[in-house]
Amino acid sequence: MVRVAVWGSLRTATDGAAEVEVEAATFKQVLDALARDYPGLAPQIERGVSLAIDGVIYKESWFTPVRADSEVVLLPLMAGG
């Protein structure tokens, strides 16, 4: 299991939990599991999200491995100037 931190305004979809656990070994599996186990997160995932894995922000890197002890933080998709 991987612990995933979700940002505050998404916690209506996680019964208020700041972190949730999902069964996943990669970036893509984390997102799929979040959308499946917490359907309220699906609209935001559809709009676009990133994952910070052990401090590095990954944008669409499906096969980036995630370990059970990884720090995983869900983040919105970002844009720069």
Partner 1 sequence: MALDEHQPREFKVVGTRPLRPDGIDKVTGRALYGADMTAPGMLVGRVLRSPHPHARIKSIDTSAAKKINGVKAVITGADFPEVRKGEARNVLENCIAFDKALFEGHGVAAVAATSAAAAKAALRSIRVDYEILPHVTEIADAMKPDAPVVHQGFVEENVPAGHSENVITFAEYGHGDLEAGFAKADRIVERSFRTAATHQGYIEPHACLASMGPDGKADLWCCTQGHYAARAFCAAALGMQESQLRVTASEIGGGFGGKTTVFIEPIALMLSKKAGRPVKIVMTREEVFKASGPTVSSESDIKIGMTKDGRITAASAQLRYQGGAFPNFTIHMGSQSAFAAYDLAAVRSRGLNVLTNRPKQAAYRAPGAPMAIYAVESVVDELCQHFGLDPLEVRLMNAARKGTKSSYGPTFDDIGLIATLNAAKAHPHYSAPLGPDQGRGVSCGFWFNFGGDTSVSLNINFDGTVSVVEGNPDIGGSRASISMMAAEELGIPYDRVRTVVADTNSIGHNEVTDGSRVTFAVGLATIKAALAAKKEMCARAAKMWGIDEDAVVWEDGCAKPAGANAGDHDPMPLARIARKSPSTGGPIAGHHEVNADGAGVSFGVHLCDTEVDPETGATKVVRYTVFQDAGKAVHPDYVEGQMQGGAVQGIGWALNEEYIYGPDGRLQNPGFLDYRVPVASDLPRIDTQILEIPNPGHPYGVRGVGETSIVPPLAAITNAVSRAIGTRMSQLPMSPPRLLAAIRGKAS
Closest by CA to 39, choosing from 65, 61, 20, is 20
Q: Which of 3, 8, 65, 68 binds partner 1 (CB under 8 A)?
A: 8
Among 25, 36, 54, 67, which residue sits at the site for partner 1 (rule: CB under 8 A)? 54
Q: Where are the alpha helices (DSSP H) in 1-81?
A: 27-37, 42-47
**Cα of 79 vs its chain's centroid, Å:** 18
Q: How far is the CB of 72 from partner 1 (least distance, A)?
A: 9
Of positions 36, 57, 65, 68, contacts partner 1 by CB under 8 A: 57
Binding-site residue total for partner 1 (CB under 8 A)? 33
